[in-house]
């Protein structure tokens, strides 16, 4: 059995960032274990290919929830990346930091250093922003962020309709002031996906102190008393072990991080005892606090052949492929969701509590997102900070069996009220006279669905996840917290969790940017806690002297 200084479980967004930052110190050895394969398909670099990648078991774990009584007993897919790079390699590339108040709330919940002022330098450290001004943005990081390569006629008209309805334009919703409408910022670099895999991990793989193993499914953590000393994993049918001299870092994501902790004896006595799993540490919060953005999607037929639907077929698609190959522009360079909106559901709200995703396309339900054949458009809507929470727990001692996901998406009456209010605002905008030359019939839920009860029934029967699971190993100091503010698992030495599962509350928007930031900050804390003075432990001061991100990496270094 070989021993490493650090063992990272999971090579998604957080794991890739951690591997990149920790290996900057040549004196430490790092093992990175990923259960999925390394995939080399050209689809992984094409922004529009998310509609093909999600729902494909080669790239996606294709988790399904248990029947959810809050959405009429339906089960829904929870897509998660099943490959090197994780969900960051197959997602829609939408870059949303969230609201400043989100992080101030985290600090108020007992997590010093996680305020907006505390996390902003880490966002700046990871970003290479072009085409967007402002002092809050990073310019020399590894992850490319910018507006879409092309504007879209239908999206422009939608934004004009929002302005006509009295909503402001917002040139940078990531500046700390989120309210308004505009084009989403996207993780693309010259029309190609910009991911933690292609940046942080690509650099780390050039260093001799990283060992990367794919197809390595970690089945359990190993302990010596209250200290985590390594992992057990299965690779190509063989059971293997790896030792850890300093720390094991679990970065398997909001679904699989709590699963691994419970399989290893860290969790609620009631859950573990029912399966005969010996308790290493009683932490009843493991697997609880599951949050996700549950969306209702409204669809309309479009009168003009200018949508993604018809551009993705036949000769039109051939032209788009040629355009992409020659200039990295056109349909294939764009995410399916182009336009954003962050609004307040009522004047009583002090900040935006509803998010819109506008797509100049119409598509079927679920993770496959297969486009319609006739022109159409879609406006997705969801409450930004859902109060409804569910759970993810193991249902078997078999580490290869998926956990049981019980989301309870619409349990909260406030979430239901906000969702209905968001649907009404969406209709108000789309029914503007500005869109009259473009807008056809409302396909879903249909113009006859008008009352609150009817709209809620539609959301229950047709709503779906927005692919933002978080919170299942949440950070804090109360009895239900799993990790402390330095992401160390309570009561266990040598073990941290660093991924979206540590979020105490769901950020206001898409979660990938926050996951990258959590890993940047987590890496700084890990290096500082082990007395490492490498590149990542110096530079811009975020809040405490021992949590400083490293100097910006120039574009040439990527």
Task: Please identify which of the residues 293, 468, 485, 552 carries the catalytic annotation.
Answer: 468
Cβ–Cβ < 8 Å for 145, 161: no
Give Dmax over CA atoms of the chain in angstroms.
70
What per-residue confidence (pLDDT) applies to 366?
Answer: 58
260 inside domain: yes
Q: How many domains are there within the chain?
A: 1
DSSP for 330-399 reads SGGGS-S--EEEEE-SSTT-SS--EEEEEESS-B-SSSS-PBPSS-EEEEEEEESS----BEEE-SSS-T
Backbone φ and ψ for 16, nearest 5 degrees, come out as -65, -40
Q: Give CA–CA dist 16/198, Å, rounded.
A: 9
Q: Give CA–CA dist 233/378, Å, rounded.
A: 43
Look at strands 143-145 and 63-64 and give their pairing.
Answer: unpaired
Q: What is the pTM of this model?
A: 0.95
12 inside domain: yes
555 inside domain: no
Q: Annotated binding residue at 489? A: no
- Which residue segment(s) compose the domain that 304 sits in? 2-549
162: tokens are: 């929002």
What per-residue confidence (pLDDT) applies to 551?
Answer: 30
Q: C-alpha dihedral over 260, 264, 265, 266, to 10 degrees?
A: -40
Ranges of beta strands (E only) in 279-369 are: 281-282, 294-302, 339-343, 354-359
Per-residue pLDDT of the chain (558 residues; tens, 9 = 90+): 999 999 999 999 999 999 999 999 999 999 999 999 999 999 999 999 988 999 999 999 999 999 999 999 999 999 999 999 999 999 999 999 999 999 999 999 999 999 999 999 999 999 999 999 999 999 999 999 999 999 999 999 999 999 999 999 999 999 999 999 999 999 999 999 999 999 999 999 999 999 999 999 999 999 999 999 999 999 999 999 999 999 999 999 999 999 999 999 999 999 999 999 999 999 999 999 999 999 999 999 999 999 999 999 999 999 999 999 999 999 999 999 999 999 999 999 999 999 999 999 998 765 556 789 999 999 999 999 999 999 999 999 999 999 999 999 999 999 999 999 999 999 999 999 999 999 999 999 999 999 999 999 999 999 999 999 999 999 999 999 999 999 999 999 999 999 999 999 999 999 999 999 999 999 999 999 998 754 444 333 333 333 333 332 322 232
- In the Cβ-directed half-sphere of 159, how many Cα atoms lie within 13 Å? 20
470 inside domain: yes
Residue 468 appears among annotated catalytic residues: yes
215 inside domain: yes
DSSP single-letter state for residue 505: S
Give every CB contact of residue 554 below 8 A, 6+ residues apart in sequence.
Answer: 140
554 inside domain: no
Which stretch of DSSP H or E encloses residue 261?
helix 253-263
**Exposure class string for 262-301: b at 16+ Cβ within 10 A, else e:** bbbbbbbeebbeeeebeebbebebbbbbbbbbbbbbbbbb
What per-residue confidence (pLDDT) applies to 368?
Answer: 57
Which of 217, 208, 206 has its CA nearest to residue 11?
Answer: 217
Instruction: Specify the CATH number for the domain of residue 304.
Output: 3.50.50.60
6 inside domain: yes
329 inside domain: yes
473: tokens are: 């190993």
């Amino acid at each position: 059995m070989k021993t490493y200084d650090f063992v990272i479980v999971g090579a998604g967004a957080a794991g890739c960032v951690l591997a990149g930052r920790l290996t900057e110190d040549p004196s430490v050895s790092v093992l990175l274990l990923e259960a999925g394969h390394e995939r080399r398909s050209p689809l992984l670099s094409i922004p529009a290919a998310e509609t093909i990648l999600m729902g494909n078991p080669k790239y996606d774990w294709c988790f399904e929830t248990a029947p959810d009584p809050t959405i009429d007993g339906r089960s829904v897919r929870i897509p998660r990346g099943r490959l090197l790079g994780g969900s960051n390699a197959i997602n829609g590339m939408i870059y949303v930091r969230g609201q400043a108040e989100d992080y101030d709330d985290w600090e108020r919940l007992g997590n010093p250093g996680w305020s907006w002022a505390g996390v902003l330098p880490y966002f700046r450290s990871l970003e290479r922003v072009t085409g967007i001004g402002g002092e809050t943005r990073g310019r020399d990081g590894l992850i490319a962020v910018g507006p879409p390569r092309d504007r879209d006629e239908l999206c422009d008209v939608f934004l004009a309709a929002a302005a006509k309805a009295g909503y402001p334009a917002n040139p940078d919703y990531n500046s700390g002031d989120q309210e308004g409408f505009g084009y989403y910022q996207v993780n693309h670099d010259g029309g190609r996906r910009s991911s933690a895999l292609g940046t942080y991990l690509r650099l780390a793989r050039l260093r001799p102190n990283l060992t990367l193993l794919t197809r390595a499914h970690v089945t359990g953590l190993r302990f010596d008393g209250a200290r985590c000393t390594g992992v057990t994993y299965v690779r190509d049918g063989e059971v293997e072990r790896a030792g850890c001299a300093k720390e094991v870092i679990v970065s398997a994501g909001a679904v699989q991080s709590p699963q691994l902790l419970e399989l290893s004896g860290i969790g609620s006595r009631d859950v573990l005892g029912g399966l005969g799993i010996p308790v290493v540490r009683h932490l009843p919060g493991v697997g609880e606090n599951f949050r996700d953005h549950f969306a209702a999607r409204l669809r309309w037929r479009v009168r003009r052949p200018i949508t993604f639907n018809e551009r993705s077929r036949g000769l039109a698609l051939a032209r788009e492929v040629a355009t992409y190959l020659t200039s990295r522009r056109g349909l294939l360079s764009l995410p399916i969701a182009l336009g954003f909106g962050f609004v307040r559901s009522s004047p009583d709200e002090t900040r935006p509590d509803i998010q819109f995703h506008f797509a100049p396309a119409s598509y079927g339900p679920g993770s496959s997102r297969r486009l319609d054949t006739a022109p159409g458009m879609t406006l997705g809507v969801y409450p930004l900070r859902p109060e409804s929470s569910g759970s993810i727990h193991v249902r078997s001692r078999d580490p290869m069996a998926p956990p049981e996901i019980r989301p309870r998406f619409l349990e909260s009456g406030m979430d239901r009220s906000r969702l209905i209010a968001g649907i009404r605002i969406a209709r108000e905008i789309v029914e503007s006279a500005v869109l009259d030359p473009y807008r056809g019939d409302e396909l879903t839920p249909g113009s006859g669905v008008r009352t609150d009860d009817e709209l809620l029934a539609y959301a229950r029967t047709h709503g779906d996840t927005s692919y933002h699971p978080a919170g299942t190993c949440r950070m804090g100091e109360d009895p239900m917290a799993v990790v402390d503010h330095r992401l160390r698992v309570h009561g266990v030495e040598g073990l941290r969790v660093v991924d979206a599962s540590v979020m105490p509350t769901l950020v206001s928007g898409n979660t990938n940017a926050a996951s990258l930031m959590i890993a940047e900050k987590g890496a700084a804390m890990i290096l500082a806690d082990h007395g490492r003075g490498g590149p990542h432990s110096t530079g811009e001061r975020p809040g405490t002297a021992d949590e400083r991100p490293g100097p910006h990496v120039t574009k040439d270094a990527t």
